[in-house]
């Protein structure tokens, strides 16, 4: 890269750190650090939800898929998420800030102690922490691969560089720093995406090439369904993404929790959905067209996006594109770490040590200090996973094989536990459903008896069956649901309930 490109990247990193320092003054307690005090505007939450929902993986693993299979990547990834979010906006998003209003939650799993009991909450929290470590590690790895493609530097260099900068600004500024940098990062991504888009299609012959290129692409590249991405696979993937983007992915739940009320959370989800329908077209269309420009790439996942950028971008703008890629990864990983830390501080540590239970109820600087220390610790742990990503099947293996398959079992009780319709699915049912999903995942990894079309969604489907069946059996047996749980579920559905006792304002485990 040209020296000017490195200057652009350096300025970007300095801006990120500066935002973290600026956001320092907004944090007075863990409530500010983890959920922005519940005062985040819906438009900022929506943009952040979108930016936090994808990373450099889009420009590595998904770039390889776009090059190899064509436009199907837009349909099974971007459209799938957009459709899932429209459902989320209607039924799930408004419930998250209502949980914060009534129970004072700062982490997505915190309410589960009241809803399902402490054992079910702990199973969910521990399972989620383990898979988030893998997920975040994959995103650091994707950044290292991208930097290597641009500069030839070792992969570990990009992992350490992006991790170190992220560590500084999120540990200082918490969620507010994450939200503001997400917005700045989205602007940077948008500019870089437009420049790449214009450059590629100008080279191919101008705007008309957007229509004429499809006949020149390899067979199947113009189809929404190509290769292993069949209609059944995509349909099941939409179901997986519903649970993922409605809150099973904790950092995305935090975006809804941090909004002032249910209506604002609904607007945030809809904005994120619209962005998923529109913005990925700018990203993926140049990748889909790439076989017409670079017909013989041997490793498109690692080669494609750096080649597109260095071919069509002048000095300085290459640095802008690389900054956008850093932005994409850092936006998601930092928000993930913030949510993961909230779960550990609020839900896991208080059950292990009385001192941490006291800190949880602290509203001042002590809880904030622990939040920052845990953020540093988990950032280091996820960087370590990223440095060892090949042991887990590489970036695609970590994101699709591990995270996408395991997030469903963890998310089913977390999401459906907020609905009165499933109130008879109690703590034991929640635990059995999660464990059955994990067993389902093991079956897909150790045997070949599950068809490829449903392998990724199979653990989720098993979890759903056990969760529904367990609730049905409990209902038939005459299980009594506590008045507290009944009241809470009614409030989550309507936002109108004044009878929950004040002592439940904060759930103490």
Q: In whole angstroms, give the CA distance from residue 112 to residue 108.
A: 8
- 371 and 436, same domain (yes or no): no
**Per-residue tokens: 183:** 């917005």
Place of tokens 């521990």: 126
Report the candidate in 10, 6, 49, 84 with the shortest Cα–Cα distance to residue 332: 49
Output the CA torsion 78→81→87→88 (10° steps).
-130
Output the CA torsion 13→19→22→27 (10° steps).
-120
Q: Across all residues in the chain, what is the average pLDDT?
A: 84
Report the candidate in 486, 502, 480 with the shortest Cα–Cα distance to residue 114: 486
Q: Domain boundary at 365, 398, 431, which?
A: 398
Place of tokens 């054992």: 119
Work out the pLDDT band at 427, boundaries 50, 70, 90: very high
Say yes or no to pLDDT of 369 above 60.
yes
- 128 and 155, same domain (yes or no): yes
**CATH number assigned to the domain comprising residue 216:** 1.20.1730.10
- Determine which of 286-300, 332-346, 351-365, 414-428 has the lowest per-residue pLDDT on average: 351-365
Say yes or no to pLDDT of 502 above 70.
no
Evaluate whether residue 500 is within a structural domain: no
Evaluate whether residue 104 is within a structural domain: yes
- Determine which of 133-137, 191-195, 451-455 has the lowest per-residue pLDDT on average: 133-137
- 280 and 427, same domain (yes or no): no
- Per-residue confidence (pLDDT) for residue 509, from 0 to 100: 42
Q: In whole angstroms, give the CA distance from residue 493 to residue 92.
A: 9
- 444 and 461, same domain (yes or no): yes
Q: Which domain holds residue 488?
A: 405-495
Percent of the chain predicted with pLDDT > 90 = 39
- 449 and 334, same domain (yes or no): no
Q: In whole angstroms, give the CA distance from residue 229 to residue 66.
A: 12
Report the candidate in 23, 313, 303, 273 with the shortest Cα–Cα distance to residue 150: 303
- 333 and 441, same domain (yes or no): no
Q: Domain boundary at 372, 398, 424, which?
A: 398
Burial 309-327 (b: 16+ CB within 10 A, else e): bbebbeeebbbbbbbbbbb
Evaluate whether residue 338 is within a structural domain: yes
Evaluate whether residue 502 is within a structural domain: no
Q: Using alpha carbons, list the distances in angstroms from residue 504 to 133, 500, 508.
A: 31, 7, 8
- 311 and 452, same domain (yes or no): no
Overall number of domains in the chain: 2
- Per-residue confidence (pLDDT) for residue 489, from 0 to 100: 95
Q: Which residue has the higher pLDDT, 285 or 318?
A: 285
- 351 and 423, same domain (yes or no): no
Evaluate whether residue 501 is within a structural domain: no
- 418 and 366, same domain (yes or no): no
Say yes or no to pLDDT of 459 above 70.
yes
- 134 and 40, same domain (yes or no): yes
Work out the pLDDT band at 56, boundaries 50, 70, 90: low
Quick one: DSSP state of residue 229? B
Evaluate whether residue 43 is within a structural domain: yes
- Per-residue confidence (pLDDT) for residue 361, from 0 to 100: 64
Q: What is the pLDDT averaged over residues 273-289? A: 93
Q: Domain boundary at 364, 398, 432, which?
A: 398
Q: In whole angstroms, give the CA distance from residue 187 to residue 446.
A: 44
Q: Which residue has the higher pLDDT, 15 or 460?
A: 460
- 170 and 274, same domain (yes or no): yes
Evaluate whether residue 505 is within a structural domain: no
């Amino acid at each position: 890269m040209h020296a000017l490109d490195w200057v652009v990247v350096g300025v970007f990193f300095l801006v990120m750190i500066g935002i973290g320092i600026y956001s320092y003054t907004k944090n007075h307690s863990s409530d500010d650090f983890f959920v922005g005090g519940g005062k985040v505007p819906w438009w900022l939450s929506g943009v952040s939800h979108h930016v936090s929902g994808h990373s450099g993986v889009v420009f590595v693993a998904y770039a390889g898929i776009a090059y190899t299979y064509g436009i199907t990547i837009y349909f099974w990834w971007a459209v799938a998420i957009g459709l899932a979010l429209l459902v989320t906006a209607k039924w799930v998003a408004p419930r998250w800030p209502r949980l914060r209003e009534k129970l004072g939650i700062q982490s997505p799993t915190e309410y589960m102690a009241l809803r399902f009991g402490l054992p079910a909450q702990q199973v969910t929290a521990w399972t989620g922490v383990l898979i988030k470590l893998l997920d975040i590690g994959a995103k650091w790895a994707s950044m290292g691969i991208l930097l290597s493609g641009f500069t030839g530097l070792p992969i570990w260099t990009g992992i350490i560089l992006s991790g170190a900068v992220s560590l500084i600004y999120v540990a200082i500024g918490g969620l507010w720093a994450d939200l503001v940098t997400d917005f700045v990062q989205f602007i940077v991504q948008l500019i870089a995406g437009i420049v790449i888009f214009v450059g590629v299609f100008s080279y191919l012959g101008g705007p008309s090439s957007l229509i004429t290129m499809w006949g020149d692409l390899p067979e199947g590249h113009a189809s929404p369904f190509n290769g292993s991405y069949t209609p059944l696979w995509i349909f099941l993937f939409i179901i997986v993404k519903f649970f993922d983007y409605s809150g099973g992915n904790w950092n995305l739940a935090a975006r809804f929790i941090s909004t002032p009320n249910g209506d604002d959370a609904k607007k945030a989800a809809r904005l994120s959905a619209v962005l998923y329908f529109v913005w990925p077209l700018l990203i993926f269309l140049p990748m889909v067209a790439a076989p017409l420009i670079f017909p013989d790439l041997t490793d498109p996942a690692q080669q494609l996006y750096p080649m597109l950028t260095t071919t069509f971008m002048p000095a300085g703008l290459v640095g802008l594109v690389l900054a956008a890629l850093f932005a994409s990864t850092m936006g998601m990983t930092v928000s993930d770490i913030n949510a993961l830390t909230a779960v550990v501080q609020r839900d896991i540590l208080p059950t292990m040590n009385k001192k941490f239970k006291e800190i949880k109820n602290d509203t001042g600087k002590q809880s904030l200090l622990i939040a920052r220390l845990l953020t540093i610790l988990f950032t280091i742990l996820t960087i370590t996973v990223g440095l060892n990503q090949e042991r887990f099947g590489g970036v695609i293996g970590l994101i699709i094989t591990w995270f996408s398959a395991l997030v469903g079992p963890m998310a089913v009780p977390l999401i459906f536990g907020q609905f009165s319709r499933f109130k008879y699915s109690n703590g034991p049912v929640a635990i059995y459903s999660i464990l059955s999903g994990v067993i389902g995942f093991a079956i897909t990894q150790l045997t070949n008896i599950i068809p490829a079309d449903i392998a990724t969604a199979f653990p989720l489907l098993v979890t759903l069956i056990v969760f529904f069946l367990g609730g049905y059996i409990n209902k038939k047996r005459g299980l009594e649901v506590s008045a507290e749980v009944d009241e809470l579920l009614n409030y989550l559905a309507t936002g109108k309930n004044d009878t929950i006792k004040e002592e439940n304002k904060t759930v103490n485990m």
